[in-house]
Amino acid sequence: MLPTRGYATKGPASSLGPFNFERREPGPHDLLIEILYCGVCHSDIHQARDEWGGSLFPMVPGHEIVGRVTRAGSAVQRFKAGDLAGVGCFVDSCRVCESCKAGLEQYCEEHLVLTYNGTERDKKTPTYGGYASQIVVDENYTLRISPSLPLANVAPLLCAGITTYSPLRRYKVGRGQRVAVVGLGGLGHMAIKFAASMGAEVTVLSTSKSKEGDARRLGAHEFVVIKDPKNLDALANRFDFILDAVSADHDLNAYLNLLRRDGVLALVGAPAKPMEVQAFSLLLKRRTLVGSLIGGLGETQEMLDYCTEKNIASDVEVIPIQQVEAAYERTIKGDVRYRFVIDMKTL
Ligand code: NAP
Ligand code: ZN
Ligand code: ZN
């Protein structure tokens, strides 16, 4: 076993602190990766504070991981020691179900092995995430990272990037379409960059007036401050596609009503409380409400390659790990420009 340093929380009311644990010895298909940067996703907060229920403790959060391969197992083909590598929200899956075979591993019907707050395929051994010095991952669940973009800015692509890229691609967002992004945080800022790069006209709907300049710099064409979501009448029936990336409780109907006929609202934000949907918000214009969970391995690699080609990465605030609790508090307040990323040298 490999002694590993990390940061963990012991329960929903505890704060994160140093934690020593062990990673498995790398097997023939495994990579040992020295973690260089790990992004702070709002899902880390939801899970560390057990807002979704069922959290496993102690928990080492972190699923936006970039690092360098320090050892490659004897059967590894795609990586060698010294290569950059990325790890996202899951590190294994059953590999044989319909979803796995379709390259949609995130929807594995048997058992998705989450990077943390999950269990290995034995459904017993807990997994620990990226707020740590190193990780051991099967090469098939590891992404290739180009050295051409700054690594700290690449880390958030492994979750915030793929979670926004995937629904934009699935619903063929592009030129001639009006797209709204709700919630300008880690996911939201990537959604703006991607939707704009795909040629759509992008409007940001935000509760934070102070983010307007940033939204335009990120590629948005319009910015609307939401004071009262009931007061969005001027935008009714306007958008072809809305990406909802809000982390807190909010009124979905207010946003559904902004879709034109046959428009799609893709929910990627994951507030804990159930949400109410008015039948007429969907019926009147044959609107679609869908959810979307991260993305499969193939699509994640496609997104990373797209980012390399288009020179797209996240806007980040790099922090030492000792500031992670403060970063959580600022994230909850919507005060992050636009992703905190932990420099793992500071561990
Ligand atoms: P984040 O950086 O905290 O951004 C969330 C944004 O939501 C905030 O910046 C804020 O934007 C807006 N917001 C926050 N509180 C609000 C409130 N009370 N009312 C209205 N708007 C509010 O979070 P994130 O990391 O982007 O994650 C967003 C959500 O997506 C989280 O729930 C996370 O768990 C979920 N998630 C889902 C997936 C998936 O696969 N589906 C993947 C990753 C994350 P403004 O200041 O612009 O209003
Ligand atoms: Zn995430
Ligand atoms: Zn499967």
What pLDDT does residue 228 have? Answer: 83
Q: What is the pLDDT of residue 231?
A: 78
pTM of the model: 0.98
Kindly list the distances between the CA atom of residue 172 and the CA atoms of 79, 128, 141, in Å, as whole numbers in the listed order.
32, 35, 26
Q: What is the pLDDT of residue 44?
A: 98
Contact of 107 with 99, CB cutoff 8 Å: yes
Output the CA 74–ligand 2 centroid distance in Å. Answer: 31
Q: Which ligand is nearest to the Cα of residue 107, counting in written order? A: 3
Q: How far is CA 146 from the centre of its chain?
A: 19
Write phi, then psi, for 47 (nearest 5 degrees). -80, -40
CA-proximal residue: ligand 1, atom 1 (nearest): 185
> How far are the Cα atoms of 38, 156, 345 from residue 224, in angstroms, in the given order?
31, 25, 39
Model pLDDT, residue 191: 99
Question: What residues are in contact with ligand 1 under a 6 Å CB criterion?
Answer: 41-43, 46, 159-160, 163, 183-188, 206-208, 211, 245-248, 250, 268-271, 292-294, 331, 334, 336
Residue 221: what are its φ and ψ, rounded to 5°? -95, -30
CA of 224 to the centre of ligand 1 (A): 17
Q: Which pairing describes strands 178-182 and 201-206: parallel, antiparallel, or unpaired?
A: parallel
SS3 177: coil
CA distance readout (Å), 128 to 13, 19, 56, 57: 19, 11, 10, 10
Tokens (6 digits) for 152? 């700290």
Residue 335, C-beta contacts closer than 8 angstroms, at least 6 positions apart:
none
Residue nearest to atom 23 of ligand 1 (CA): 42
Q: Whose CA is nearest to atom 11 of ligand 1?
A: 183
Ligand nearest to the CA of 46: 1
**Best mutation site among 112, 168, 187, 339 for ligand 1 pocket (most ligand atoms within 8 Å of CB):** 187
Which residue's alpha carbon is nearest to atom 13 within ligand 1? 246
- Rounded to the nearest 10°, the torsion over CA 299, 307, 335, 230 is -60
> How many whole angstroms separate alpha carbon 287 and alpha carbon 270?
20
Q: Which ligand is nearest to the CA of 96?
A: 3
Give rounded-to-5 percent helix, strand, coil for the chain: 30, 30, 40
Calculate how far, in angstroms, residue 198's C-alpha sits from the geometric centre of ligand 1. 22
What are the angstrom distances between the C-alpha of 326 and each of 57, 320, 330, 335, 347? Answer: 21, 11, 6, 11, 16
Residue type, 73: G
Span from the CA of 243 to the centroid of ligand 2 (angstroms): 16
pLDDT of residue 260: 98
User: For residues 107 and 1, what is the distance between their CA atoms, to the nearest angstrom?
Assistant: 30
pLDDT, position 166: 99
Name which residue sits closest to atom 46 of ligand 1, judged by CA: 208
- Could you say which residues of the chain have pLDDT below 70? none
pLDDT of residue 227: 85
Q: How far is the CA of 234 from the centre of ligand 2 (A)?
A: 33
Query: In ligand 1, which atom is closest to the CA atom of 42?
Result: 25
Nearest to 29 by CA among 79, 65, 76: 76
d(Cα 106, Cα 109) in Å, to the nearest integer? Answer: 9
